[in-house]
Amino acid sequence: MRIAASIAISLAFSSTPVAAAEAGRGTLDLVLRGTHIEGAPLVWSERQVEFLDRDGRLWSFAPQEAKQVRRISPSFRGYSAAELRSRLSGELGKSFEISGTGHYLVAHAPGQKDYWSRRFEDLYRSFVHYFSVRGFRLSEPEFPLVAIVFRNQRDFLRYAERDGAKMSSQVLGYYSPASNRVSLFDIGGGNASAGDWHANADTIIHEATHQTAFNTGVHTRFGVTPRWLAEGLGTMFEAKGVWNSTQHSSRGDRLNRGRLARFKNYVSRRPAGSLPEFVSSDRIFGTDPDAAYAEAWALSFFLVETRPRQYSQLLARTAGRPAFRAYPAAERLADFSAVFGKDLRLLEAHYLKFMEEIP
């Protein structure tokens, strides 16, 4: 089975105060590991630098690695779509065509503009609509959103390795909060057609959901998002009644049948009273990923369907945490309990009964 994979930030963020003279949204030019980069230092301490590139990439490095540092502007501005398009062309070469839409720059095989760019932009608009009608105020992305569609798995895996992502042969694509890009390969081999959409769809929808969430304020790229919260949202949007709610409006259309089946299979061996552990730790994603993704979907679906206002409050609470700080289990559990109440045994009972009653 081909799957989508998401790269989540799991850095041990430093709590060292930012050096006020060097950190901020002014623009610096520096040489890092032999490459010139321009951007804003979000954190600059004696031990760590978190540096936001003008293309949206987040660099993490030790301060002594930065060479020839100079300030080139008192303010910060990301690259325009035209500037970023030019840089992508130089990076990827002539085998890619780059198409622009309202929010996206998509690199793909020549002649595939209408197929790829429109898909990504439509998903962005569906995401915005979904949250807007639920009263969640979204912000406009600071940077053009970049997606790279490789012709084949070989080129995709080579790129992922250079990007620092370890991908298996089952993976179709991923979103990286560090680079802020979606990368995937086309099962149509660069000749995608409407018939290929169903095979590419889950990957595109899942990863585009992550990318949009991390760029509109639903999640934050500069902190730790609980894995269940990020993957729960990604798996919810795989259902046609979520990503295409205008044409598929019933609750049945909002069900992710594949995740539901996996969750029902998992329930018989799911540890009783495990909800606090699940919401406060990412551990199960490493030990039992199939069950973890299934429960991330199930819990998110339950909360959205039965407690939508509180669910939005939890998203806002986690996204509003201080940047570049760790998010230990006790704080995750406290945030969840502050929104949904301290009686998690009762909440878990309601949750499991709700899922059991879904045919």
C-alpha 232/C-alpha 131 separation (Å) is 15
Same domain, 186 and 238: no
What backbone phi and psi angles, to 5 degrees, belong to 132?
A: -65, -45
Domain assignment of residue 295, given as a range: 227-356
35-44/27-32 β-pairing: antiparallel
Same domain, 84 and 143: yes
Which pLDDT belongs to residue 4? 45
Same domain, 185 and 234: no
3-state secondary structure of 27: strand
Residue 181 or 191, more confident: 181
Query: Domain ends where: 160, 194, 215?
Result: 215
Question: Picking from 107-116, 176-185, 326-335, which range would have the lowest pLDDT averaged per residue?
Answer: 107-116
Task: Give per-residue pLDDT as tens, 226-270.
Answer: 999 999 999 999 998 888 777 776 888 999 999 999 999 999 999
Same domain, 203 and 239: no
Query: Domain ends where: 159, 182, 215?
Result: 215
Task: Give per-residue pLDDT as tens, 134-173.
Answer: 888 899 999 999 999 999 999 999 999 999 888 888 888 9
Same domain, 320 and 282: yes
**Cβ within 8 Å of residue 98, ≥6 positions away:** 85, 88, 89, 92, 105, 106, 107, 108
> 14: which 2 tokens?
């430093």
Same domain, 191 and 299: no
pLDDT at 70 > cutoff 60: yes
C-alpha 251/C-alpha 267 separation (Å) is 22
Candidates 119, 325, 301; CA nearest to 225 is: 325
Which pLDDT belongs to residue 13? 41
Q: How many structural domains comprise the chain? A: 2
Q: Is residue 154 part of a domain?
A: yes
Half-sphere exposure of residue 335: CA atoms within 13 angstroms, side-chain side: 23
Which pLDDT belongs to residue 289? 96
Same domain, 204 and 314: no
Query: Domain ends where: 215, 239, 270?
Result: 215
Which pLDDT belongs to residue 233? 97
